[in-house]
A = this chain, B = another copy of it.
Amino acid sequence: MTVSTVSRRVPVQARSEQRLKAILEAARHVFSEVGYASATMTEIAGRVGVSEATIFTYFASKRDLCVRVLGNWYDEIITQVENELPLIAGTRNKFAYLVRTHLYRLSVDGTGLCALILSEGREKDDKFGDVIVELQRRYTAPMMNVLAQGMASGDIRGDMPLGLLRSVVYGPMEHVLWDAVRKQRAVDIEATAASLSDLLWQGLVPPDAQEAALRQLRSDVIGAVKRFEAAALK
């Protein structure tokens, strides 16, 4: 039997559950604020009020801690969306819901994490491996489905790659929030979400089909009304 490098068992008692949460929360904030490379275990430990060694009792490494922080964040929001989205009808409404939810989530605690994901996710040595990629995929899946279905049904223009649409949707939201953080200003989530939904949807809608559809609709109504009038006057 070889000597195995057993990392100590993670504490599981009631009391330590709280500590674990505290560490995760502190870590979430620190990673958010300064990014992975600049975040230090010392800082995180200091915020929780424990020694650095204690953190290593709960997490195997800085990397592990970060992965768990990200995982938690994703899990929370993924769960929420998976529960609420099915209750909403209509492509346009689903779209607006996803925009609003994303914006809200990011604004609460995610801006930094998002930056983290984006900037650390590209390291060559894939420090976080496919963990992030997979989480990201799961997280954006609902939006991608909405967009894909919209394309299929003709609600959304089909002349651009889906990946580009994703960037068009998520890019502005991240940008808005970074801007806010950088300028230390609060964001009016509801107003911003409404505006973005509106503007982006208008961009996503098929360019001519839009007017065509309106014209068609109007002629239909007019036709119907005329037929009705004719019938009524008879």
Contact = CB atoms under 8 A, between A and B. Distances in A.
Contact of A203 (B35, B47, B203): B203
Q: Label chain A's interface by main secondary structure.
A: helix
Interface in A1-36: 1-4, 6, 8, 29-30, 33-35
Interface stretch (A62-70, A80-88, A120-128, A146-154): A120-128
B192 A179 contact: no
B216 A213 contact: no
A172 B205 CA distance: 17
Contact of A43 (B4, B200, B204): B4
B209 A199 contact: no
Interface residues of A, number: 82
A50 interface: no
A199 B181 CA distance: 27
A6 B200 contact: no
A181 to B, nearest CB: 5
A151 B118 CA distance: 32
A160 B199 contact: yes
Nearest to A116: B119
A209 B209 contact: no
Nearest to A38: B37
Interface in A144-168: 157, 159-161, 163-164, 166-168
Given A176-B171, A192-B164, A196-B168, A182 B133 contact: yes
